[in-house]
Structure 1
């Protein structure tokens, strides 16, 4: 039996689809019926509704130990995809509790239930910080605690420490650090929100650079790593390093919408996040642009995929072509 946490998210839902489509016995945990519907919608999108019925869904929460006891019965392999993604400073406590404490719970249950292998989906935000003489971030780049990091990045780094602790206690583990993951169908969250913003007439662009990867590439790599003899390794999953402006233009072209035309300079982004802080603080609205997010929008980070390419001989999907495929699903 394979257990998938976060099966109602972008990666988890696609992972479930790939697993059941290949005849794997799968169990997934969920917190409410509404979130399950998102996964069901994805299966319908790919015209594989009948496969959805083959998933063994169990109500559980990675922070609720008693429910996890039931979820882990007869489980041999675990894909831990569940996490909170937020760049709102007000969510610091929630991020640390869910992403670090929740991961610690998963690791503990894997150990106590003699799980054969745990695959943890982390993030490139948890990779290290470049030194002055370095240009490309790899799995070996050292994390510098003295440098500023978003609360999300800190929570994912802390979660990785829990996974490595599990390895030290005898658990076979794999950690993957995907870049920004592109895929259908959660349009109001994560990368999906970029498509809806372009559709609604996004005007601003920045010139920052980061790594991007297609969700189907991520899922295929997860499964290959889990089925391989590779253990206790960490892999960066990035297909291409792309300038944000170029990504937005590509999405606009695919959606046949107007391209963003106003350059949001670092100075402007600094001004905007301060305005957002003021509105959030005094009008009790949720943050839309944090200081960390503003900085990320103009930071230029290059990531290497050499390690995973050499390990599996993987050829990544072209991001521009992937965007065209995703655009077909945007309503």
Structure 2
């Protein structure tokens, strides 16, 4: 039995589709029934038999912070894909981020050790990869530092430390550090916000950039690593390093919108940060522009994916097709 935590998110739902479509016996955690509808929607993007595939999953209502429910979910489980995480870049959310991302991961690791799980695949982030001092690309071995890191990246680094602890206690583990994951369905978070922003036809784009990868390539990499003899390793999963101008330009062009041509200046970002703070105080909506955000835009990191290519023996798929597919779905759902 394979267990997937975070099965109702972008990556988790796509991973579940791939597993059940390959006739793998799988169990998944959920917290609220409303999120299950989102998974069904994702399945419907790829198969006319979405409901049949969805019903193959053994859904367990559980929380990675709730040990009793987690114990029930782990019964007869042999392999675990740990995708669950709380994502926020708001400094005031640090305690909650640490509790879910670090403590929750510690609970998963402890359960794996106690119940003899054969292998754990932990999903981290490129934010937990160190920043190189020079203009070289960051690798899995680049030293990580807390300075200028956002709260989410800090807590995901702490979560990785829990996984390495498990590895020292003889648990077979692999860690993946994906870049920005491109895929459809979750338009209010992650890469979905790129499509939402692009649809508005703004003339501005932020400076900097990041590493990008399709959701299909992340799931394929995770399954290949889980089925391999590789253990005690981490892998950067990035298909291509792109500037935000390039990625937003590609999405806006696909949507038939005018490509943004004006880079946001530092003074505009600082005003945006101040406005974001006011919006957070008034509406309690999460902050999106912080000091660490601005630093990251000013000092973008490029990532080396050669270790993953060598280990997995495949080339990452081009981003254009998933951008086109996702943009089409976004436009259909927001017509």
Fold shared by both chains (TM-score > 0.5)? yes
Stretches of structure 2 lacking an aligned partner (at least 5 in a row) = none
Question: Which residue does the alignment assign to 2:226?
Answer: 226
Partner of 2:310: 310
Mean CA deviation greater in 30-39 or 288-297: 288-297
Q: Distance in 2 between matches of 1:308 and 1:284?
A: 40
C-alpha distance 88-202 of structure 1, shift in aligned 2 (>3 A): farther
Pair 1:256–1:183, CA change in 2 (3 A): same
Instruction: Name 1:137's counterpart in structure 2.
Output: 138
- Structure 1 residue 282 displacement after superposition: 5.8
CA 1:66–1:129 in structure 2 vs 1: closer, same or farther (change >3 Å)?
Answer: same
1:66 counterpart SS class: helix
Contact 2:89 2:150 in 1 (8 A): yes
Match of 1:89 in 2: 91
1:210: which partner in 2?
210
Task: Work out whether residues 207 and 297 of structure 2, in 8 Å CA contact, stay in contact via their aligned partners in 1.
Answer: yes
Q: After superposition, give the CA deviation of every residue in 1:194-228 in whole Å (9 maximum; x if it has no partner).
A: 10121123332023021000000000010000001
How far is the alpha carbon of 1:255 from its aligned partner?
1.1
Deviation at 1:297, TM superposition (A): 3.0
Q: Cα RMSD over matched residues?
A: 1.4
Contact 2:131 2:301 in 1 (8 A): no
Distance 1:283 1:27, change over 3 A: closer
Q: Does the 8 Å CA contact 1:206/1:298 hold for their aligned counterparts?
A: no
> Quick one: distance in 2 between partners of 1:224 and 1:284?
41
- Describe the SS at the equivalent of 2:162: helix
**Aligned equivalents of 2:286, 2:142: Cα separation in 1:** 34
Matched, 1:267 2:280: no
Question: Quick one: distance in 1 between partners of 2:286 and 2:136?
Answer: 35
After superposition, what is the alpha-carbon deviation per residue over 1:126-160, rounded to whole angstroms, capped at 9, x for unaligned? 0112124x511000001124x22100010000000
The number of residue pairs the alignment matches comes to 329
For residues 115 and 64 of structure 2, the distance between their equivalents in structure 1, rounded to whole angstroms, comes to 15
Kindly state the Cα deviation for residue 268 of structure 1 after the two structures are TM-superposed: 2.0
Cα distance in 2 for residues equivalent to 1:150 and 1:135: 21
Displacement of 1:322 after TM fit? Answer: 2.5
Task: Flag structure 1 segments of 5+ consecutive residues without an equivalent.
Answer: none
CA drift at 1:285: 4.7
Distance 2:304 2:30 in 1: 34
From 106, 109, 130, give the equivalent of 2:108: 106
Offset of 1:304 from its aligned partner? 0.3
CA contact (8 A) 2:182 2:212 kept: yes
Q: 1:268 to 1:167 in 2, by over 3 A?
A: same
Distance 1:284 1:20 in 2: 38
Q: Write out aligned runs for 1:249-260 (5 A).
A: 249-260=249-260
Cα distance, 1:284 vs. partner? 4.7
- Distance in 2 (CA, whole Å) between partners of 1:88 and 1:197 is 20
Q: Assess if the C-alpha contact under 8 Å between 2:2 and 2:27 holds in 1.
A: yes
Q: TM-score, normalised by structure 2?
A: 0.95
- Paired residues of 1:244 and 1:297 also in contact (CA < 8 A): no
Q: Distance in 2 between matches of 1:15 and 1:279?
A: 35
Corresponding position of 2:158: 158
SS at match of 2:176: strand
Match of 2:126 among 124, 127, 131: 124
- For 1:286 and 1:152, the matched residues in 2 are separated by 13
- Where has structure 1 moved over 6 Å in runs of 4 or more? none
Q: Distance in 1 between matches of 2:90 and 2:201?
A: 24
Instruction: After TM superposition, give the deviation of residue 308 of structure 1 in Å.
Output: 0.6
